[in-house]
């Protein structure tokens, strides 16, 4: 007897998209929580293989979520809207500020396939050799590797939470065979969790992965539907450069009209047209300095 593999994008009977027996688990023992986090990661892995999921866009949106969590860890007030503004309207030579720097680190980390060079671009305060040494600290199963990397970074530089979380997610992704890493740990770990060690930290990371993998699956399903609609309305767009603009919307969380490959007036008209068609959303609620996203 053979069994058909479930369709992760259609398995949305629960709000998370992860099967209810995983997302509603209340296990306490480390081995039990590890089992459920493995099931959640397996489900996410199937979703990331689906061609209809706009992976670059998903990673970029999860990077914003991770950055927002890291900013909150440092007690700063900026949330998603402020982080988008800090980066979207950044001019050459400008500083995005501390919160914007955190967001830029996460965005740069997800943009390119994983390598020490790419991680160094995301974490310019650290030498490539140091990054490589931390990255090589992880051994064993995926979550164990991620925890060991996080511990290695924070043991050497106790306040380097962002670097530790980025490298831990990268180690996890590499162990799972992913070319790009998907931000998962930062959004669901509490600041107090980062001061834990050993089994206590592993337990916190497994729990965080159940939550974050569930959210990633939910967002993947939502973005797959939105991306399909955006592609469906594309033939209705007559503006020169509209095709390139569509591709940009399918890779970035938020876009200012000025960043699109059209004149300012044509870009604004295109964004308004896409909003009217229900293909993108205006994200700021402002009359000026607007941002748009799928």
Per-residue pLDDT of the chain (294 residues; tens, 9 = 90+): 444 455 555 543 333 467 777 766 676 789 999 999 999 999 999 999 999 999 999 999 999 999 999 999 999 999 999 999 999 999 888 899 999 999 999 999 999 999 999 999 999 999 999 999 999 999 999 999 999 999 999 999 999 999 999 999 999 999 999 999 999 999 999 999 999 999 999 999 999 999 999 999 999 999 999 999 999 999 999 888 999 999 999 999 999 999 999 999 999 999 999 999 999 999 999 999 999 999
Interior angle at CA 200, CA 194 and CA 202, nearest 5: 80
User: How is residue 241 annotated by DSSP?
Assistant: T
Q: Considering only CA atoms, which of 59, 70, 73 is closest in space to residue 101?
A: 70
Please tell me the number of Cα atoms within 13 Å of 36 on its side-chain side.
26
- Model pTM? 0.92
Q: How far apart are CA 150 and CA 87, in angstroms?
A: 27
Question: Domain segments of the chain: what residues?
Answer: 25-223, 237-293
Classify domain 237-293 by CATH architecture.
Orthogonal Bundle (1.10)
């Amino acid at each position: 007897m053979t069994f058909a593999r479930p369709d992760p994008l259609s398995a949305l009977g629960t709000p998370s998209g992860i099967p209810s027996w995983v997302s509603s688990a209340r296990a306490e023992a480390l081995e039990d929580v590890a089992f459920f986090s493995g099931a959640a990661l397996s489900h996410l892995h199937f979703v990331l293989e689906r061609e209809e999921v706009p992976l670059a866009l998903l990673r970029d949106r999860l990077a914003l979520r991770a950055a927002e969590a890291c900013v909150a860890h440092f007690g700063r007030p900026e949330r998603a809207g402020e982080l988008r503004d800090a980066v979207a309207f950044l001019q050459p030579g400008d500083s995005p500020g501390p919160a914007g720097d955190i967001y830029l680190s996460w965005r740069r980390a997800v943009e390119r396939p994983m390598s020490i060079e790419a991680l160094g671009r995301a974490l310019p305060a650290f030498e490539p050799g140091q990054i490589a040494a931390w990255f090589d600290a992880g051994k064993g199963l995926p979550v164990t590797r991620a925890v060991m990397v996080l511990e290695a970074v924070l043991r050497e530089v106790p306040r380097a939470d962002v670097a530790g979380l980025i490298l831990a997610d990268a180690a996890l992704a590499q162990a799972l065979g992913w070319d790009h890493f998907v931000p998962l740990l930062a959004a669901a770990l509490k600041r107090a969790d980062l001061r834990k060690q050993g089994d206590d930290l592993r337990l916190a990371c497994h729990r965080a992965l159940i939550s974050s993998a569930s959210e990633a699956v939910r967002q993947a399903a939502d973005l797959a539907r939105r991306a399909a609609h955006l592609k469906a309305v594309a033939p209705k767009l007559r503006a020169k450069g509209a095709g390139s603009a569509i591709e940009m919307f399918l890779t970035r969380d938020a876009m200012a009209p000025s960043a699109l490959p059209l004149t300012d007036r044509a870009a604004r008209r295109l964004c308004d047209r896409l909003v009217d068609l229900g293909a993108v959303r205006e994200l700021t609620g402002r009359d000026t300095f607007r941002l748009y996203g799928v």
